[in-house]
Structures are given as C-alpha cells and as structure tokens.
Amino acid sequence: MLGANTQSILKPIQNYGIGSARYCSGFDAGLISKNKHCFDMPSGMFVVRWDINKKTQIFKKQLHNSLIGCHIINKSHTMCLTVAFGGGLSLWDTNYNLLDTVQLSYCMDIRCAAWRRDGAQVCIAGVGYGSAVLCYDVMNSKLKLSWRTCPPGKL
C-alpha cells in the first residue's frame, strides 16, 4: 500500500531478483529516514530509498556482494541490520554507513531476522535442515554473539 491517495504509484526502475522486496525482505516505510514519505527497501545487493510523494528514488547504495535476504530497522536505536545470502551480517546507521559486520561461515541461508522489543538484541534464523539460530547483543553499535544453535558437526 502506498498511501490513501490511489494516484500514488511507485514504478521501480530496476529489479535484482529474489533478494528484492517481493521476496522476504519487506518494506520498512518511513522508519529509518526522518522523512515520513520515504521508505528504504533492499533490491538485490543494494538498499534503495524512495520518496513516495515525489515518486523518485533518493539514493541507492550497494551494501553486500550477494543478495540481501533480510533488511530490518531497529526503531529504538535508529540503525538497520542486513543479512546477505552469502553470510554477511551487517549493522548500519541511518545513512547506511557501516557500524559493524560479521561473516557467518557455516550458515549461508539466513531468511529471518527480528529485533528484541527494546532493540538491544537481534536474532537471525536460516531455513531447512542444518540451519542455525543466532542471537547478537548490540552494544555501542557492535554485534556480540550471545546465543546460538548450531547444525550437527558445526560446533
């Protein structure tokens, strides 16, 4: 939904495949940008900020070297977490400047992520047999592994 005005139509100019918003990444409308008419969305390896009122792309930045499968905004701390299919887990500020990054060596199929209500912890999960659930505490804009389940033979 793009708003109450049915004349508001957003026409993406590029689509990068399964890591786009139509897959599992979702929209984070107006949460990281101070402009309430803007939203950020993953598109392939990039994040794109759109202005719905002007029907324009404000900026586009490559965040990963593989498709972004999760893009979630931490409302409490005004930061964003992205997880790429290649195993990259990254924490960004509101302008997508990198705060911290972790390379997951054994869990390459992360599809789900969620912030704890107070924004102090994020948990990510993969799909299928042999996947993992990982929880990271966020302290001073850094990710610290606090809890995990591991696939057999990966401890």
Q: Tens of pLDDT along 56-86?
A: 898 899 999 988 888 888 878 788 999 888 8
pTM of the model: 0.75
Residue 141 lies in a domain: yes
pLDDT of residue 100: 97
Maximum C-alpha span of the chain: 55
Residue 130 lies in a domain: yes
Residue 155 lies in a domain: no
CATH number at residue 55: 2.130.10.10
With a CB cutoff of 8 Å and minimum separation 6, the contacts of 144 are 136, 137, 138
Domain carrying residue 69 = 21-149
pLDDT of residue 154: 56
Q: How far apart are CA 107 and CA 75, in angstroms?
A: 26
Residue 80 lies in a domain: yes
Residue 58 lies in a domain: yes
Q: Tens of pLDDT along 94-118?
A: 889 999 999 887 655 777 888 998 9
91: confidence class by pLDDT, cuts 50, 70, 90: very high
Residue 99 lies in a domain: yes
- CA separation, residue 23 to residues 17, 36, 75 (Å): 9, 24, 22
Domain count, the chain: 1
Residue 8 lies in a domain: no
Residue 103 lies in a domain: yes
121: confidence class by pLDDT, cuts 50, 70, 90: very high
Q: How far apart are CA 24 and CA 62, in angstroms?
A: 18
